[in-house]
Structures are given as structure tokens and as C-alpha cells.
Chain A
Amino acid sequence: MSDFLQLVFSGLALGAVYGLVALGFVAIFSVREIVNLVQGEYAALAGLSAISAVTAGVPLLLAVVLVVPLVVLVSVVIERLAIRPVHRMTPLVSIILTLGISTALKAVMLLVWGPEAHRLPEFPGRDLVIGGVSIQAQELWILGTAAVVGYAVVWFYEHTGAGKALRACAEQPIAARLVGISPRTATMVAFAIAGLVGAVAGVVSSPIYLSSWNHGLTLGLKGFVAATLGGLVSFRVAMLGGLFLGVLESLVAGYGATGYRDAVAFVVLLLVLLVRPQGLALKASGVRV
């Protein structure tokens, strides 16, 4: 039994990272129909930048706090330079565009940080053993941060005027503009939020799962799969989807063969697309969030 709980708990921690990345996909897609493939790179960039800051002598928590706005800025700059100038944005154009940016960003990270994986020191705290289940302080940090950030994002989109304005842009871009909401500003804010959740995922996960220049690809793909569970528009289902995916991977590795771990996400993706392409959350009418 303790084995089962151990696998589930480790899966939850991993899944929370996927969930955070998934939130980034939803944050943008629910405002404009843009699939932002740079999402995984935000995490890698944040992790690597934090490691550099710590190596340069900046205290750990300060480095983490400094890196997040930096990545938010990168995300906003990407929106300003690459997304805004495009007049007829479709999901397909956005995929091609952000894939290019992602590749360029990876090349930059490879040049700056080299090909090796690096590890951020662990956040403060003591590891525990409860009922035979070993729990790392860092895993609690991941789960706690994911809960706080996830709740904050949902609250922002659903309970604040600004958040509702963002979603109005997606529903009725022209009507939104008529009542004085700027779709440009809305897209920028959405990219900032995506940068934020990606960066948080990157810094909290680095002490356990390491950071490297090509780390964002897998993370982005798994986050994307989690986001598709919510039809790319539901934050709650995206976060739960991430947790589900993490636990499922961990159980498959534990009771099946470890080699199948990375196949889990793609099997889930195929099933979702075949059975419920609109996501698990939506009714066929397509009401958002």
C-alpha cells in the first residue's frame, strides 16, 4: 500500500508541474485562439536563469523571485514582436510561428548554458516520511505553488473585471472592442500570465527534475496534453489533467514497464482527440470555462 501511495504522491508532484504548464496554454488559448508552443521553453528558461543567478551568488529565493518577471517580460516581448504583427491569426499560423520561436529560443539556451543539465538547489524545508511514503520538501513546494498560482489564475479570469474582459475578447472580439476592451492589450496580458505560470513551473521543478536547454519540449508536450483534456479552455480541467497525467505516468512506470512512461501522455492525447475532441469539460455547445 505504501508503494502505491508513494507512486501516487510522486506522480502528483510531477503532475503539478504539467498542470502549471497546461495553465499557460489555456491562459492564451482562452483569450485568442493561439497555441503557444513556447510554453515549455518558459520553464526551461526560468530554471536555467535561476541557476545562473544562484551561481552568481544571488540568494536562492531572491533569484527565483527575480527570474519570474524576467520570463514574463520575455513572453510579452514575444507577443509584441511575433504575434501582434500577424493580421489573420489562426491556430495553425500560431503553431508554426511559435514553433519557430521555440526553436530559436532553444538554440539561444544551448549557446548560453551549454548542452548539460543543471540543477537548482532545493528550496528550504525538511523531507518527511509519513506512513512509509517519503515526501520531499521540494515536492510540497511544487504542490503548494501550483495550488496558489492555479487558484490565482482561475480567480483572475473568473472573478475580476479584467479577467472577464479577456474572455470577452475570445467570445466576441468585435463586441468586446465596441465596449472598449482592447484585444491587443488582452493578448498581451494573456501572454504575461502564460509566462508567469511557465516560469513558476520551471523554478519549482528544477531542484528535482533538473533544467536543460531541451527540457521544454517534453514538458510543453505533456502540458499541452493536459490542456487538451480541458479543451484548451478550462483552467480547472487543465490542472486536474496535469495531475492525472503525472499520477498515471508514475503508476504505469511502477506497475507496468518504465519504458512506457513517456508513451502515456500520447495515448491519452489520442484517446481524448478520438473520443472527446472538445475536451472533458465542455458541453457540445462550446460554453467556455
Chain B
Amino acid sequence: MSRAFRSLTSALAISAAALGAAACAESAETGGAASGSGTAAGDIKIGAVLDITGAGASLGVPERQTLEMLAEKVNADGGVNGRKIRLLVEDNQSTEDGAAKAASKLLSTENVDILLGASRTGPSLAMRPLAEQAKTPMISLAANQKIVDGSTWVFKTAQNDRVVLERIVDDLKAQGLKKVAVARDASGFGEGVPEMLAEIGKPAGIEVVHVEKFAPDATDFTAQMVNIRNAKPDATLIWGIPPAASLAQVSYERLGPKVPVYQSHGIGNQVFLDTAKDSADGLRAALGRMLVADQLAADDPQKEVVTQFISDYKAKYNQNPSTFAGHAYDGFMIAIESLKKAGTDPNRLRDAIEQTSDWPGISGVFTMTPEDHSGLTKEALVMVTVDSGKWKVLEGAS
């Protein structure tokens, strides 16, 4: 019996140890001061907390690359008012506690002048109270409106889920689709989405008939798709980020009802197309203009900045930037513009960010106000589909 008892103790030890390992194994990536310059007292410290490993990796990696590229560029151009930028990047391992830990390290040990991140909603919400308490401006790169609702020091650059849903509701209306099933990310990004969709869609007679959830690291979507099929909707909205959103898309095409499928702005990267492959053809999504930069009108206010960013990014990393890279660009450049105007005094810097107006970025044209710390309306989005593995503007979509 001692053998059996041993395997019992060992089994328990494994589960505990392996779970612990999950937390410590991922803290590999640190650092990333792109300037390479010294730590002179005059440097401006920009701290960034990103989802570099874990479920948000497809967002955090391009964001880090973008920040490093821009910091290098700003420093090469002489910095901000003669002061160099020092970029400090921390990995939150796509967890809330990782984000809180990294943020408090940057705020209290490094005394950063401004905080960027996180990549996703959950970790961003974990950082928010820390930035508010430290009275340091923070610009999140995530989507959920809760991040900035009623905030003083926190701003964000990704399009609000609300404006995305407004865009999608417009399209549902135009298509005459009324009963919508939702499969949403079970983490912060999907929080409250079905409720908001029901609220925005109500005047148009659009209702949410079924809601399914999936974990951000889920791999099997059979159960969700079977349940959605049984709800017999007119259209389905999948709200998540890759790889989960791609696997859901693949599963939907195979098992779901044969009705139009909408995806959120969480899918705006090459990883989605690579992992969803031909299942993505024909989906409808409300996305920023960058993915369809080549199809923009010449007089589009974003055309120049978007085209420039894409060519810079391609030259450095030999791949197309994702929309998330765009969110990082917007966050970093709004920070730089405001630092140029106001310097590093926290109060003046905060006010400068809040006064950002008609500023063409990658995700849209930003106008911040004391009430709106997100700065984008539904005009920042276009309805896009996928055709043979390429993003394509939907002609005639509202």
C-alpha cells in the first residue's frame, strides 16, 4: 500500500507545484529600455504594462514592438523638449494580479511620469486604482468602457466596446437582422457586452436571444456552438480575441447556425487570419481603418499617419502591424504630444491629455473631453469582411 500512498502524495504535490510553475515560468520577459541612453535625471520615464505572455500575447507583443520602435524614433529625433525618453516595459502575464504588481513597481519604485497599458480590460482595471491613487496619468490600450468610466487620471485609446456595438447594431439594422446570439469572452473584455448590445439595439427591435461564454484560453467550442445553433438566431456575435476568437470562428463555421457572424474589434491582427484560415471568409467586423489602409480614400484624415506607421513598422519588424500595435501607437504618441505641451508635471500632463482634440491617430481621430477619456466615436470604425485571407471594406455598409 505504501506505493499507492506515495502516488497519492506525489499527485497532490504535482498539481500544486505545476500550478505554481504556471505563474513563475512566464515571468521571463523584462526590461526593454529602447533608448540605450544613460539614466540621466532629465530622462522622461514612460512605464508600460503589457500582456506579453499568456492569453493576451497576440496583443501585447506587437504593442511592445511598437513602443520600442517609437521610443527609439523619438529619441533619435532629439527626444521631448531635449529630454530623452526612457521606456520601461513590464509583462503582466495576462493576469490581473500581474498587472497590479507591475504597475505598483513602475509607479512607486521607478516613479514613472506616465503609465501605459494594459493590453486587455481585466489587467487595465486592476491598474486603474493604482494610477488614480498615485495621481499619475495612465493610458490603457484596452477596450472596455469601464476602464475610464468616471476616471480622473485614466485614459484609453482602443475604441470603446460601446462604439463598436453601435457600429454593429447599425449594420444589423441595415441587414434586417433582429435576433442575435452572443458568444463572449468570459474575462473583462466580454463583460457586459450582451447587456450593452441589448440596450443599444432595443430601439431598432434587436434583441439578444442567447449568451454563451468562453475562457480566453479555451480550445474547444463545440458546446457553445451547439447551444447557439439551438437558439436559432438571425445573426451571431463572437466577442473575443485570438486565438480563442479564431477557434470560435472555425467551430462556428462547422457547427453553428448558417447565419451571418459578427466579430468584435478584438480580431484585428494577422494572428486571427492565420489561425482562423478560410473559416474567416465572409465574417463581418467593426474594425479600425488601419487594417484597410490601402483601401482608404486619399482625403481621409488618417491616411497619412496610418500609411507612415505601417511602412515604419514593416521596415523594422518585417510584418504588418496589428490594430493593437495601433492602440499602442496612439497611447504613446498622445503621451508624447502631451509631454511636449505640458512637461512632466502630473497635473498639467493630465490636463494636456484631456485636451487632445482632433488628433488623427491609428485607431481614429481622437477628441478627449473631461467626460470622455476614450476620445473615439463610431466614426472611427468601418465594417470590414475577410475575403480569401485579406481584410476588405464592406461596400455600402453603414
Contact = CB atoms under 8 A, between A and B. Distances in A.
Contacts of A115: 52-54, 57, 60-61
B218 A214 contact: no
A258 B53 contact: no
Contact of A214 (B54, B219, B220): B54
B226 A224 contact: no
A259 B18 contact: no
B22 A95 contact: no
Interface stretch (A100-108, A173-181, A186-194, A235-243): A100-108
Interface stretch (B95-103, B208-216, B304-312): B208-216
Closest 10 A/B residue pairs (Cβ): A115-B57, A254-B223, A10-B222, A253-B223, A278-B4, A117-B243, A209-B219, A277-B8, A91-B10, A115-B53
A117 B246 CA distance: 11
24 contacts: A10-B222, A33-B6, A95-B14, A102-B21, A103-B24, A107-B28, A110-B26, A111-B28, A115-B53, A115-B54, A116-B243, A117-B57, A117-B243, A117-B271, A117-B275, A209-B247, A212-B57, A214-B25, A217-B22, A218-B217, A257-B213, A261-B218, A277-B4, A278-B1
Nearest to B255: A134
B11 A228 contact: yes
A200 interface: no
B4 A231 contact: yes
B133 interface: no
Contacts, number: 153
B254 A37 contact: no
Interface residues of A, number: 60
A144 interface: no
Interface in A233-289: 249-250, 253-254, 257-259, 261-262, 266, 269, 273, 277-278, 282, 284, 286
B25 A107 contact: yes
B18 A220 contact: yes
Contacts of A21: none
Given A91-B6, A278-B7, 16 more contacts: A10-B222, A107-B25, A107-B28, A114-B57, A209-B219, A210-B243, A214-B54, A217-B22, A218-B217, A224-B11, A228-B7, A254-B223, A258-B218, A273-B11, A277-B5, A277-B7
Nearest to A10: B222
Interface in B234-285: 242-243, 246-247, 254-255, 271, 274-275, 277
A266 B243 CA distance: 24
B104 interface: no
B254 A258 contact: no
Interface in B1-60: 1, 3-15, 17-18, 21-22, 24-26, 28, 52-54, 57-58, 60
B219 A3 contact: no
Given A6-B222, A210-B247, A258-B212, A136 B22 contact: no
A55 to B, nearest CB: 10
Contact of B15 (A91, A102, A221, A278): A221
B186 interface: yes
Given A115-B53, A115-B61, A134-B254, A259 B17 contact: no
Nearest to B61: A115
A99 interface: yes
A106 B25 contact: yes
Nearest to B250: A208
A3 B21 contact: no
A63 interface: no
Contacts of A35: 10, 14
B118 to A, nearest CB: 15
A92 B22 contact: no
Nearest to A13: B220
Contacts of A16: none
A50 interface: no
A7 interface: yes
Contacts of B271: 116-117
A258 B14 contact: no
A43 interface: no
Contacts of A153: none
